[in-house]
Chain A
């Protein structure tokens, strides 16, 4: 069964369409890298999925449930924003407890693997105001994975992380995929896109131009690196071609 379905999705801000006619289906156990130039609609697509913005037209189905004002469907989603901000005077332990309370998580039901791998244990008694940007990103990553979501939405997850932590986070993504999660990641780092992505969803001017495997793009252009293959592939597309849906 498809885990996420976008059907004719469109979002308009005033007169400007940020997203238009997006049709896509994502299945369990795949990593989809959502890429595109600035202002192409990546953030809007993710926000529609998360219920942060209301679609102007079309529909989104998550785990068989239509996305609506009922927040229950979000229990299956783990989200890591690009910029992690938390209440400054709480300690990390209090923050984790707060999220446990909101999620109704019982002792032992949470996934603590990334918690240990990123060394968040040592931050428990620290206040958020004392954390660096990278430390806050680690806490944010732990929160995204902690409640065993079957959908992970990660917005430029490695930005601000040190290389070791970034590597561990990406390993956690691959582990989640093996365990059947559907992972949507926005990224501008093509090495990351090529390494992780089962499919690349390319957005341009609010339209989904294609969702293809990285290998399809590299073989179509004769380039081994996606960073070189992608511009070539895009330049070959006619202005309104929509492929691979």
Chain B
């Protein structure tokens, strides 16, 4: 697995999209800190960009990269190595490359302008989202035969998790505001990795007013170290499950 991962990483290191992504993140992050006088405000704005942009680009890039490598993946599948190793290696390489791009593009400006707990939480959340959506992208790419359909499913997934899901939760909370619905909202919000990451950042900044209903409830339940740990574990599960499904689907797939 490591052999395939190593050479896939070498390929990705010269990938123009990965370089462009790094530059874009660096330009956006640096721009935020330079425009905003207050570094905390800049971090809040940057976190909104990271929460929306990172999942989208990780998802689309992973799907397209997997499709572009399809013929070579078939050639690898004819070699004396297991299929599980191939798909795991490709997932590890793509997520590592995008993590490196994120750390260079966002991590360096954050370290320069806003080092500290809030900045670190933003980086951890962005890194977690990158890994999660690489795993989801790999799963979509492995299970769909048609590239356009796979990208379409990726985009719908992103729109649903970024916009629709939170709106549904808000509607649910409004609709049942006269009932004790909080115990239900917390696990429901935990089902969305973007909400989870938003919580991690916002709880650290301690600006509950910016969080909306979902965030307020989360603040109540997860405003503690234990809550942070549970959120991180949920994000890890969000990576592990799609990754496992992708590996299982690829192992059974007719190539």
Contact = CB atoms under 8 A, between A and B. Distances in A.
Contacts of A97: 7
Most buried by A among B8, B252, B254: B254
Contacts of B252: 54
A51 B252 CA distance: 11
Contacts of A79: 75, 78
B112 interface: no
A68 to B, nearest CB: 12
B78 A53 contact: no
Contact of A89 (B11, B76, B78, B254): B11
Nearest to A13: B254
Interface residues of A, number: 34
B235 to A, nearest CB: 30
A87 B69 contact: yes
Given A87-B8, A89-B13, A75 B71 contact: no
B79 A71 contact: yes
Contact of B80 (A54, A69, A72): A72
A47 B255 contact: yes
A50 B78 contact: yes
A190 interface: no
A89 B14 CA distance: 6
A101 B3 contact: yes
Nearest to A74: B80
B80 A75 contact: yes
Given A83-B71, A85-B71, A102 B76 contact: yes
B38 to A, nearest CB: 41
Contacts of A98: 3-4, 7
Q: DSSP majority for the B interface?
A: helix
B10 interface: yes
Contacts of B78: 50-52, 74, 77, 79
B11 A88 contact: yes
Contacts of B8: 87
B146 to A, nearest CB: 16
B75 A81 contact: yes
Interface string B72-105: 1011111111110000000000000000000000
A73 B79 CA distance: 9
Interface in A91-107: 94-95, 97-99, 101-103
B167 interface: no
B15 interface: yes
A99 B72 CA distance: 12
B82 A86 contact: no
Contacts of A85: 69-72, 75
B79 A102 contact: yes
A234 interface: no
Contacts of A86: 72, 75
A157 to B, nearest CB: 14
Interface string A8-33: 00000100000000000000000000
A153 to B, nearest CB: 8
Contacts of B81: 71, 102
A88 B68 CA distance: 9
A121 B95 CA distance: 34
B255 A89 contact: no
Contacts of B7: 87, 90, 94-95, 97-98, 101
Contacts of B3: 98, 101-102
A84 interface: yes
A187 to B, nearest CB: 19
A87 B72 contact: yes
Nearest to A140: B75
A71 B11 contact: no
A74 B11 contact: no
A53 B13 CA distance: 32
Nearest to A49: B78
Interface in B202-252: 251-252
A97 B6 CA distance: 11
Contacts of B72: 85-87
A177 B150 CA distance: 43
Interface in A173-189: none
Interface of A: 13, 47, 50-54, 69, 71-75, 77, 79, 81, 83-90, 94-95, 97-99, 101-103, 127, 143
6 contacts: A53-B255, A87-B7, A87-B72, A90-B10, A94-B7, A143-B75
Cβ-closest 10 pairs across A and B: A85-B71, A87-B11, A89-B14, A75-B80, A53-B254, A98-B7, A52-B255, A101-B3, A89-B11, A79-B78
